[in-house]
Structure 1
Amino acid sequence: MTHTHTQPGGDTLDAVGLRHVGAVLSTVQIVSWGVLYYAFAALQSSIAADTGWSSVAVTGAFSLSQILSGGVGIWVGRHIDAFGPRRVVTAASAVAIPGVASVALAPHLALFYIGWALVGVAMAGTLYPPAFAALTHWGGTQRVRALTTLTLVAGLASTVFAPLAALLEDLVGWRGAYLILLAGLVLITVPLHWWGLDHPWRTTDPASLEQPTTSRAAVQAAAPPTAQAAAAVRSRPFVLLAAANALTALAVFAVIINLVPMLVEQGLSRNLAAVALGLGGVGQVVGRLGYARFAAVTSVTVRSVVVLAAVAVATAALALASSSAGVLIVLGMVLGLARGIYTLIQATAVTDRWGPTAYGTVNGILTAPALAAAAIAPFVGAALAQVLGSYADAFLVLAAVAGVAAVLMVGATPKDRPALQDVDAEPGAISELR
């Protein structure tokens, strides 16, 4: 049965409908990120040790999933713009089940890779981009609040699942850990996506109506969605934004995936290092709680540059810090804070610059290079550590990469942006969440 929690004259959801969708997507995000992504960060060394497969081969399978996710994600974004998210994200959730099962049960490396290939397809339809597209479309003037709520909850995925995966590995091995975590996909993500996203989806936009135009931004706002998407992705700011996002993803995900080995190198136990990785999720939540106030007092360019600079500084500080467990954990949380804010900057990057029309298509194209960079990030981090002799030196190089991204972000905003009066970024936008 189709829900009718929509505003008159369109398919923007009312407060009740938006809270319902937000709760559904938030629940799915924490489980999907936890099982499909963060569990691997905690289990990768155990997989290599147990199977005898090289760490490069094991990480390569995970990287394959990221590359496939980026490619499939472009199609997913276009499909969502045209038909809505319900069918495609439910199908992706279903694909994750045989994918994770294949990873857990793989007797040889070939099936392990096939499993991660299926997981990559599932990631394209279950992680942030499709959820961002759904909330941007259905949220209307409340989309920033809805996106903040989503990322607040999803930010806890590492906090919950990295230590949980390590604990399960101690009890039943890495294969048993994945099989237990698989239950969350079966019981939560598939049914919630199918029954929780049954809302109307309009495929035409009022902005496409004929109206007098006097500026490039106004002309683009009056164009059909496909024309708006094409104009956006051909622009110089889009290219710079995509490059900055890709470099940031390279730095951030190389740090995330290699944080546990780096902390172990610094003298922490594997379990304590996994806890430190998880506490980075607490930092993400803190950063996202303050995003609305931060956005209200900064321009899109300023906040993007400041946050990327913070990522660079925090990464360098981790590399240069003493071997004190407390100091390393606190710095990891600070990096998590910057990463948490950056997730919301990514979620609103398209609407802040080109408006919400054709969001799924434009964001899918924007996200693809970042996902490719995230795919090679584990290799880059490990290779840098091997060449330079330590993970700490590798983190210094990754900090420099994030610094370059901050410089590119200076030119990543169109000078003639469409007016976005409906963007909700007031300081009180998420006060009810506190």
Structure 2
Amino acid sequence: MTNPVTGRPRGGLAALSAAQITSWGLLYYSLPVAVTPISQDTGWSPTAITAALSAGLIVSAVAGVRVGRILDANGPRTVMTVGSVIGVVALLLVAWSPTFPVFFTAWIIAGFAQSAVLYPPAFAVITRWYGADRVRPLTTLTLVGGLASTVFAPLVVALIDGLGWRGSYVVMAGILAVITVPLHALFLNGRWSDDAVSQSAAVSKAEVRQVTRTPKFIILQIAMAVATFTLFAVTINIIPLFLQRGMGYSLAAVALGLIGAGQVVGRIGYPQFARSTSARTRTVTIFAIGAMSLLTLALVPGPSWLLIVVAVLAGAVRGCHTLLQATAVSDRWGTKNFGTINAVFTAPMTFVGAFAPVAGPALAGLLGGYPAMAIVMAILLIGAVGLTTRS
């Protein structure tokens, strides 16, 4: 049932949050967990397997713009439900894949599903539902979504141990179908309310371009993409960085887990920070703290406890960055045509996020180590701080 005043379906936030954690867990995190057993069974290289996920993310970035336009004009139910169905088909194709080209194609198809069911469309729905009160429900959504790896990584491992990777992907397709398809079909607007529909009717490419082609938009977009790339490239490769600092593998692995905890802390603290700062001030502040943390990780050799504390701080910055991404457009340009404009805005972030995990090791190899790579990333993020002061 939809609230007649807000146009928000009752239970919508809980349903969307449950769909997010499931979609992220199965359409994104399942493959990094399954890379090794897939490689051992098929002989396909781990790099090639990971590249399939990256290719899907690139497709997601491109397709997301069209998804945002459909969502603005027609409401979220159809596009997000169809996205879930495509995701089910993609996972079944992954399970069946007799050759690597078929496997790669399956993740390309998964990219279309990702464009319709992961954060950007969900952010658009929350922003339309809650308007000026969007920060707290966006925080709730990202807190739940942030638990995807925590919940689904052990589940995927257990499934692979019991069923092999092919059988596991059949089960994962079933889970995705049972959870996300009905949640999207039953708890999202079939069409927006009358006011929202009349607003959507005025959507035009010219109106969108009046925002997306302004220097302010482009500068902020570049700064956010740089922040995405640098923070992800360092934190996702924190284990080899800490190993080069002389830390043991077990402790370095704990540090990686604590970065996830840091993201949760950052997201919990973000609403209060947002209430007391302007959009520009909080973006500059968060990026500056991020640059400082990366520079510390690059230059300070120890002790281990200090490096872990700084890594957790970098994780908190990443957590805040997710909410910055969710609110950057609406904070500066309002909520009209939000789905379309935000999809254009976030596309470069999705694109660079696909390359960051492999770019970090590649750059570390060229520069002679992970600390040197972290220095470069810190410098790039300092540059993003400078750009943000103009946005």
TM-score (norm 1): 0.80
RMSD of aligned Cα (Å): 2.9
Q: Distance in 1 between matches of 2:36 and 2:303?
A: 23
Equivalent residue for 1:100? 91
Q: How far apart, in 1, do the equivalents of 2:365 and 2:98 lie? A: 29
Per-residue Cα deviation, 1:257-297 (whole angstroms, up to 9, x for no partner): 43455556665548x76664444332222111111210122
User: Structure 1 residues 291 and 106, CA, compared in 2 at 3 Å: closer, same or farther?
Assistant: same
Letter in 1 for 2:63: V
Which range moves more in the overlay, 127-136 or 108-117? 108-117
Hey, what does 1:429 align to over in structure 2? none
Q: Which of 192, 210, 222 in structure 2 is aligned with 1:201?
A: 192
- Give how far 1:67 is off: 0.7
Q: Distance in 1 between matches of 2:303 and 2:156?
A: 25
The correspondence for 1:315, drawn from 294, 297, 301, is 294
1:136 equivalent among 108, 127, 131: 127
Structure 2: gaps spanning 5 or more residues: none
Aligned-pair distance for 1:184? 2.9
User: Mean Cα displacement is larger for which, 196-205 or 280-289?
Assistant: 196-205
The answer as to whether partners of 2:143 and 2:264 remain within 8 angstroms in 1 is: yes
Gaps of 5+ in 1: 209-222, 413-434
Shift, 1:365, TM fit: 0.7
Q: Which residue of 2 aligns with 1:391?
A: 370
**% same residue:** 43
CA distance 1:170–1:406, shift in 2 (3 Å): farther
Give the 5 Å matches for 1:359-374: 359-374=338-353
1:121 matched to which residue of 2?
112
Aligned pair partner of 2:179 in 188, 197, 207: 188
> What residue is the counterpart of 2:2 in the other structure?
4
Q: Which has the higher helix share?
A: 2
| 1:230 aligned residue | 209
Kindly provide the CA deviation profile for residues 285-338 of structure 1, in whole angstroms up to 9, marking residues without a partner as x. Answer: 211111121012211111111112222233344445658776555444322211
8 Å contact kept, 1:163–1:274 = no
Deviation at 1:401, TM superposition (A): 2.3
Q: In the alignment, what sits opposite 1:293?
A: 272
Shift of 1:194: 0.7
Q: CA deviation at 1:63?
A: 1.3
Range with greater deviation from structure 2 (78-87 or 94-103): 94-103
**Superimposed CA distance per residue, residues 181-226 of structure 1 (whole angstroms, 9 cap, x where no aligned partner):** 4443122111111111145404755997xxxxxxxxxxxxxx9443
Confirm whether residue 75 of structure 1 aligns to residue 66 of structure 2: yes
Distance 2:332 2:13 in 1: 24
Superposed displacement of residue 411, structure 1:
1.1
Question: Closer, same or farther in 2 for the Cα pair 1:391/1:244, shift >3 Å?
Answer: same
Matched residue type, 2:27: L
Deviations 1:371-393 (A, max 9, x none): 11112223312311222233343
Aligned match of 1:160 in 147, 151, 156? 151
Measure the CA separation in 2 of the matches of 1:178 and 1:405. Answer: 40
User: Is the deviation greater in 168-177 or in 240-249?
Assistant: 168-177
Q: What displacement does 1:74 show?
A: 0.2
Matched residue type, 2:263: Q
Aligned to 1:253: 232
Deviations 1:343-385 (A, max 9, x none): 1111111111110000001001111111111122233123112
Shift of 1:160: 2.6
Matched, 1:280 2:248: no
What is residue 356 of structure 1 aligned with on the other side? 335
Q: SS where residue 348 of structure 1 aligns? A: helix
Instruction: Name the amino acid aligned to 1:130.
Output: P
Inter-CA distance 393–47: structure 2 relative to 1 (3 Å threshold): farther
Q: 1:318 to 1:234 in 2, by over 3 A?
A: same
Q: Deviations over 1:11-34 (max 9, x none)?
A: 543xxx46x111011111111112
**Would the alpha carbon gap of residues 37 and 313 (structure 1) be closer, same or farther in structure 2, given more than 3 Å must change?**
farther
In structure 2, C-alpha distance between the alignment counterparts of 1:84 and 1:351, rounded to whole Å: 18
Distance in 1, Cα, partners of 2:374 & 2:20:
28
Cα distance, 1:394 vs. partner? Answer: 2.3
Assess if the C-alpha contact under 8 Å between 1:87 and 1:194 holds in 2.
yes
